[in-house]
Amino acid sequence: MEKQKKENVFRTLARWLVRWIFGLKYEEKWFGKKQHAEKEIKYKNGVPDDSELIVSPARQVFNRFMDRKFAVVSVIVVLVMFLVVFIGPYFMPKYYDSFTETTQVDLPPTRSFMAVPAELKNDLKSVDSYGSFSVGLSNAGKVYIWGVTRIGASGVNVKNMPEGINDKKIAFAAAGQDHVIAIAEDGTYFGWGSNRFGQIERTPEIEANSNLEPIPDEVANGTLDPTQIKKVTCGYQASAILMQDGTLYIWGNKQTYANLDKFIGRTNMLDIDFTLNNVVGLDSKQTTVVTGIKGLYNTVRPNIGAKGVKIGEYLNGRKINEIRCTTKSLCLLLDDGSICFAGDFDKDVVDVPQLPADERFVDIEGGNYHFVGLTNKGNVYAFGGDHYYQTKVPNLKGQAAKVFAGSFQSYVADANNKLIGKWGLKGYIFGTDGAGADIFQRTIAGGKVTMTVGAIAVIIEIIIGVSIGLISGYFGGWIDILLMRIAEVFSSIPLYPFMLILSSLLSQVAISTNQRLYMIMVILGILGWPGFAYITRAQILVARESEYVTAAQSMGVKETRIAFKHILPNIISVILVNMTLSFAASMQTETSLSFLGFGVNYPQPSWGNMLSRASNATAAINFWWQWLFTSAILVFTTVCINTIGDTLRDVMDPKSSNDK
């Protein structure tokens, strides 16, 4: 008879996989026919031999557990989940809890941030972006928009371009946070997107609002000569057009850009750009950064990590040729091809590399946090903010002729206007939350918190509950009565009201987020132990009367030794089952508390507080991705844990028969 290979976990799993993918036929071909439960009756000496191999109880439980496919899958899922949430954070070294990004708020799941349309790839004139979408312009004069074009819940979709734009040849296009402006080659102005702060057109309300600067008539009426336009650029909720002769047209929200007033009607400008809160310009003297605010950017740094020097000293006769801004910092390109920086940088930044002796920068572009520099050798370097790996430049073989920086993306075109390289942020698979953070990363980090809280709380429950149950059940008498009364007191504490009080008390005390987390675990553990105590005690009462205990007693084994060494191993199965179910319950309690705002607090993520925004019906439907993925993962995990617990109970219970 052919020797049957021994079935083990991996073999069984492989078997299922093969059956799932290829079907039963191949499974039997590759793995042999499975031995089914109904065995052929063997005959020994003429009588049916129905004897079974005697296996240890643990082995038996294991075998029976392995028969339940659903439970085995659950074990694997929970293990994978554990690995993901505990090892996952090491694979996202740039993640931190309090990350916020105003330009990336409430974005749905997408991978389209760098999806440059095919027609544009060989005919690239310019790319611009400030927030979630990018605007590309081809040399043929056609405007393309990609990325997340629906802006928040406002109903504005920048994909809806104004009528007539396709008939004109567009010469300039620029994108802001929620608006786009374009100038055609005949001077016609197009603006679309949100007009809440007067970004795109003049209305009586905007003229009446002293906080908003309406668009200049010359621009809106299309009387500008497009051949004389030097630069069209957009900030967060503002836009600017700079002419070759130095005349500046600027409009938008003066609350975001407090120094916008100081730029209105200027005529001697060489360059203009926007940070998140300031308008930054360069005048014809080319020696200072013009902001209208005294001393704002009067120290510069030769490199991002270097020490600040007074701008006059550093320039030492050299002139500034170009200014490019990110949200917080600026990069100045000097007339000798060197660059320097001003403003603030986040901690996660990449310095400018040392250029070879004969190489110098000829152009700089600024994204939201990073800068891209083009050199005279056609090489591209990226530096500055690196949170989404914006500075990881692919090998471009010195072909680069034009560089463009979007919000977190960079695009490079060669001399034939062909797109030869793009890198940066592709999008978010789970979308972003109300603070602009990646929900996928927060889900992993939040899972770590939720699972840790659940696990530690259960361990505390077991330690207290089992010891008390053991002592109480084994010794009986007044100890039993006393301990059980104490357990009753603890179990009659109303959980939620008590937790609410305690956590609002904790919020009065200055403690760190981690200490708060420990407190939550301890409180959950302390309030949850009576359940374990009751179960242990009930099991002990049964076990105490059994023969092996009597035997141990008659042999003179010490009482505590009997309790912990002889009885405990026999009741471990019941504790194991309850541990699993209790783990899921603790996770649920933690998520509910955090959801109410009394557990883990923002910015530390937990699967509960990440869902708190969904308590509002409008937000729940508009920002569905902010709760759907996280709660699906939470439910999936708890279902799997509960399945394990249920199955364990079934297979360990001698009363339950083999039939399911």
Site of interaction with other proteins (CB under 8 A): 485, 488-489, 492-494, 496-498, 500-502, 504-505, 508, 584, 588, 591-592, 595-596, 608, 611, 614-615, 617-618, 620-621, 624, 627, 631, 634-635, 638-639, 641-643, 646, 655, 659-660
- β pairing state of 212-213 and 248-253: antiparallel
**CB distance 166 to 201 below 8 Å:** no
Contacts of 175 (CB under 8 A, 6+ apart): 128, 129, 130, 131, 133, 134, 135, 158, 234
Is the CB of 145 or the CB of 652 nearer to other proteins? 652
Q: How far is the CB of 489 from other proteins (least distance, A)?
A: 5
Q: How far is the CB of 482 from other proteins (least distance, A)?
A: 13
Taking alpha carbons only, the member of 148, 96, 603, 108 closest to residue 408 is 148
**CB distance 525 to 533 below 8 Å:** no
* Cα 25-26-28 angle, rounded to 5 deg: 70
- Cα separation, 506 vs 37, whole angstroms: 57
Is the CB of 79 or the CB of 140 nearer to other proteins? 79
Is the CB of 98 or the CB of 504 nearer to other proteins? 504
Is the CB of 406 or the CB of 608 nearer to other proteins? 608
**CB distance 534 to 469 below 8 Å:** yes
- Cα separation, 191 vs 182, whole angstroms: 6
Is the CB of 383 or the CB of 583 nearer to other proteins? 583
The single-letter code of the amino acid at 499 is M
Q: How far is the CB of 334 from other proteins (least distance, A)?
A: 56
**CB distance 320 to 339 below 8 Å:** no
How many angstroms separate the Cα of 82 from the Cα of each of 195, 382, 607? Answer: 47, 37, 14
Is the CB of 320 or the CB of 633 nearer to other proteins? 633
Is the CB of 293 or the CB of 501 nearer to other proteins? 501
Q: Give the bridge partners for 272, in sequence order.
A: 281
Is the CB of 69 or the CB of 565 nearer to other proteins? 69
**CB distance 577 to 648 below 8 Å:** yes
Is the CB of 417 or the CB of 588 nearer to other proteins? 588
Is the CB of 536 or the CB of 609 nearer to other proteins? 609
Is the CB of 327 or the CB of 443 nearer to other proteins? 443
Q: Give the bridge partners for 174, in sequence order.
A: 181
Ordered strands of the 320-325 beta sheet = 320-325, 329-334, 339-343
The residue behind tokens 């917080």 is 328
Q: How far is the CB of 618 from other proteins (least distance, A)?
A: 7
Q: How far is the CB of 64 from other proteins (least distance, A)?
A: 15
Both tokens assigned to 48 = 């049916």
Q: How far is the CB of 656 from other proteins (least distance, A)?
A: 9
Instruction: Say if residue 569 is preceded by a cis peptide, omega within 30 of 0.
Output: no
Half-sphere exposure for 366 (CA within 13 Å, toward CB): 26
Is the CB of 86 or the CB of 624 nearer to other proteins? 624
Q: How far is the CB of 490 from other proteins (least distance, A)?
A: 10
Contacts of 37 (CB under 8 A, 6+ apart): 658
- Compute the residue count for the chain: 660
Q: How far is the CB of 607 from other proteins (least distance, A)?
A: 9
**CB distance 343 to 329 below 8 Å:** yes
Q: How far is the CB of 620 from other proteins (least distance, A)?
A: 5
Q: How far is the CB of 249 from other proteins (least distance, A)?
A: 43
Is the CB of 79 or the CB of 621 nearer to other proteins? 621
Q: How far is the CB of 632 from other proteins (least distance, A)?
A: 9
How many angstroms separate the Cα of 107 from the Cα of each of 14, 390, 407? Answer: 39, 19, 14
**CB distance 339 to 419 below 8 Å:** no
Q: How far is the CB of 622 from other proteins (least distance, A)?
A: 9
Q: How far is the CB of 595 from other proteins (least distance, A)?
A: 5
Q: How far is the CB of 289 from other proteins (least distance, A)?
A: 47
Is the CB of 493 or the CB of 551 nearer to other proteins? 493
Is the CB of 504 or the CB of 546 nearer to other proteins? 504
- Cα separation, 184 vs 140, whole angstroms: 11
Helices (H), 493-558: 495-508, 513-544, 547-554
Contacts of 415 (CB under 8 A, 6+ apart): 399, 401
Is the CB of 21 or the CB of 617 nearer to other proteins? 617
Q: How far is the CB of 466 from other proteins (least distance, A)?
A: 22
Both tokens assigned to 512 = 């760190």
Is the CB of 366 or the CB of 599 nearer to other proteins? 599
Phi, psi values for residue 473, rounded to 5°: -75, -40
Q: How far is the CB of 254 from other proteins (least distance, A)?
A: 36
The residue behind tokens 């312009």 is 137
- Cα separation, 352 vs 383, whole angstroms: 6
Ordered strands of the 179-184 beta sheet = 170-175, 179-184, 189-193
DSSP 429: S
DSSP 132: S
Q: Which helix (H) or strand (E) holds 120?
A: helix 118-121
- Cα separation, 192 vs 164, whole angstroms: 12
Q: How far is the CB of 646 from other proteins (least distance, A)?
A: 7
- Cα separation, 337 vs 455, whole angstroms: 58
